[in-house]
Amino acid sequence: MSKKQKNQKKDDELDDLVNHILSSEPAKPNNECGEKKCHQKTSLMGFSCAYCQRKFCMKHRLPETHSTACEEKAKSASRASYKQDSMRIITEEKKKPGSTYAPGGSSESKSRKNLEQRLKSKLNEHQKQRSSQK
């Protein structure tokens, strides 16, 4: 009798340990929704949260549906991006008063070409280094 009780106690401790591990670490497989009670598979349709880096199903993809912490982050982030957006719109309007979107020839495409060239030369350098090492 007493032996049985002892074993049960050990099991309880084990359960505690397991619960502790489960609660501190996401023990779910990667292809399941990150929401605790949700078992929706995300292998076909998964949305990863930008704030907690976990994958969620359609229903829980929004930060406010899976975590209040993420909700808060999303709120402050959207506020910041909204500010940026309105700023950008204002500066664009200032640059091109009255005109509609002018395609090409902007300083943006120029700097992009520059960036591409720098990237290419850098890649070439790396390739040279690699071939010389071999």
Q: Does 57 contact Zn ion by CB under 5 A? A: yes
Minimum distance, C-beta of residue 70 to Zn ion, in the bound complex (Å): 3
Minimum distance, C-beta of residue 55 to Zn ion, in the bound complex (Å): 9
DSSP symbols for 62-125: SHHHH-HHHHHHHHHHHHHHHHHHHHHHHHHHHHSSS--PPPS-SHHHHHHHHHHHHHHHHHHH
CA 8 centroid distance within chain:
43
Q: Does 32 contact Zn ion by CB under 5 A? A: no
Q: Does 70 contact Zn ion by CB under 5 A? A: yes
Within residues 95-124, the interface with Zn ion by CB under 5 A covers none
Q: Which of 3, 26, 29, 40 binds Zn ion (CB under 5 A)?
A: 40
